[in-house]
Structure 1
């Protein structure tokens, strides 16, 4: 660094002057700091402060002026698009476009503060769930961590912000009688979506697994189906997600009534194909809409709500059909290992933790059994 010696006195003016060379600007021109003072002491103090400021600035990762919005676009293009699954990228892109940019995009990245994020979370809680806002926090925190790696900023201010704590979703389940009545009502009120509701109740499969189920993965001979892919939707796009090649597909034994229903549904699809050609149900899906297209998750949920309202039953989510399936089996004293396998849980402990509220009723069945066996 040039010009780091003691200040010199200008013989003409009597002023004490120091000059510090600070490097080059974006055009390659040399830059410097030049100041003058009445006394040598003032000049020495000011020069020491200036040298320290220059040193600190040079140690900063990057002085590039970029807004939060500009950086998030850069992050989506250079990280998310190439390092995440298409569905994940679509979700990130929507969060950035619809939420983060409108609220925080105008702020300079290096000027972003934890308190601004805290205010963002507070505002978003007026229109979004705590779980969604927490997801925004995770996305932003990841993006800011990458900004450190890329030398845009020195620290991640998201670490100092406190996202809302998501409340655990309450599990609502139907009894055997309620579930049977719901399915009977759905068959009358929403026949197109009745088969997928019936399958959910009889298998405990997730919505994405049911939407992605194909006929080649239904074995009528052994009365089993196999889950080899899911179909998910994000930002108006559908994504086909295959299970990893080294992972064994989950097999689920069909109930006799579900096997009958699927057999009838397959015959119906074959008739439709003869009439409409290969354009009907091109993905060979077990559950498709009346036009042979992928069933939209939102359409399935709305159909369930219509059936629930018609049956005058307590409101539940589609995912609660899965919970109802597991609860009915556990209350019937089916071994948790079997229930866990049907649900596709990685460990039996996951099943037991999820349905820990059933411990008392299951233990009651066990005690009743002991009463009949022991004197």
Structure 2
């Protein structure tokens, strides 16, 4: 085990050893049974936070006091004598995953950390001794990864490393975080690509013909502005036909081939989205067809009662949805966009139609209207033009 390898009596270099005399008032104590004098001192903690002590006994009080003074001096000077048995960055990161990430993060977050550690950090940095890890080595790692990954992904790696190394300080493996000396790349702002109303209508028509299984979720994205994870996690009990609303109470995300159901906290109000008339028709049709399938195939078909599911009645994989969208885009000969850009297209169309930003913000689930306005600030000129046109019709 890693724990067996890590420590042989280590005193961390940055720790000022606090020596606590266990006998009364800082003096050795006499054992009433044997008559001998003894002392016990705290010698700090090992790399896993376990207390270490020194205890010795003598025939006279004077001998005990002299030996105690030497022991105190030895403990204070131990920083230059005692050494940690070498542990590699790779071994430490496994320890960190087990002792921090697994118990202090959500399952999906842990799965993401685990994947990044095992796919990227361990192969590149795992062989380096934790004590010898340098900022320049991290800098080289960021440079290499930028040729394969986005700047945002590399920044995420930096944050994971920095957190793990901070914890290594708390656990007294090391005395400084070298990630603080490394400079991760600056995040690049993702370009927002949106479709016009005409382009969206063409996309939906093509998707219905070319990818009928995924057409409903693409259609719902354009009509609601919902995120992919929100659409994947939508269940029939959260579609309220009488009020023509659907409610977002959970999302489904994927990491390392596993699906994670993320429910909103009970004290938070679920986001409600008003259905368009056309989306309501589509959902009613889907519900009727689903109920027929359920009667024939039984409870094992779509066991989570999802609104959108694949041809086998299982959760739609995010990658499947993206590929289906790409097929429809290519068939329609439209400019390439991401699935998330359907959400941006939804918001852009509403804002350009002079719908109040507060309404748009509520549909998108933004925490504040300022988030909406900052995200779509590029529409300011367009919206202001609509406002001026309105004024021209009203004022002389």
TM-score between the two structures when normalised by the length of structure 1 = 0.85
Shift of 1:66: 1.0
Partner in structure 2 of residue 235 of structure 1: 256
Shift of 1:127: 1.2
Unaligned 5+ residue runs, structure 1? 1-22, 31-50
Question: Cα deviation per residue 1:297-330 (whole Å; 9 max; x = unaligned)?
Answer: 0000000000000000000000000000000000
After superposition, the CA RMSD in angstroms is 1.9
Q: d(CA) in 2 for partners of 1:257 and 1:244?
A: 31
SS in 2 for 1:110: helix
Question: Cα deviation per residue 1:81-131 (whole Å; 9 max; x = unaligned)?
Answer: 000000000000000011101111111101000000011111111111111
Q: d(CA) in 2 for partners of 1:55 and 1:233?
A: 49
Question: Cα deviation per residue 1:162-195 (whole Å; 9 max; x = unaligned)?
Answer: 1111210000000000001100000000000000
Q: d(CA) in 2 for partners of 1:260 and 1:55?
A: 76
Partner in structure 2 of residue 57 of structure 1: 80
Q: d(CA) in 2 for partners of 1:54 and 1:162?
A: 35
Partner in structure 2 of residue 333 of structure 1: 354
Partner in structure 2 of residue 154 of structure 1: 175
Residue 378 of structure 2 corresponds to residue 357 of structure 1: yes
Partner in structure 1 of residue 97 of structure 2: 76
Residue 369 of structure 2 corresponds to residue 367 of structure 1: no
Q: d(CA) in 1 for partners of 2:144 and 2:387?
A: 50
Partner in structure 1 of residue 88 of structure 2: 67
Shift of 1:204: 0.2
Structure 2 counterpart of 1:285, from 279, 288, 306: 306
Q: d(CA) in 2 for partners of 1:146 and 1:55?
A: 23
Residue 120 of structure 2 corresponds to residue 99 of structure 1: yes
Residue 278 of structure 2 corresponds to residue 257 of structure 1: yes
Unaligned 5+ residue runs, structure 2? 1-42, 47-51, 55-73
Shift of 1:54: 4.5
SS in 2 for 1:232: strand
Q: d(CA) in 2 for partners of 1:194 and 1:113?
A: 51
8 Å contact 1:64–1:152 — kept in the other structure?
no
Partner in structure 2 of residue 7 of structure 1: none
Q: d(CA) in 2 for partners of 1:358 and 1:307?
A: 27
Question: Cα deviation per residue 1:136-174 (whole Å; 9 max; x = unaligned)?
Answer: 000010000000000000000000001111210000000
Partner in structure 2 of residue 207 of structure 1: 228
TM-score between the two structures when normalised by the length of structure 2 = 0.80
Residue 166 of structure 2 corresponds to residue 173 of structure 1: no
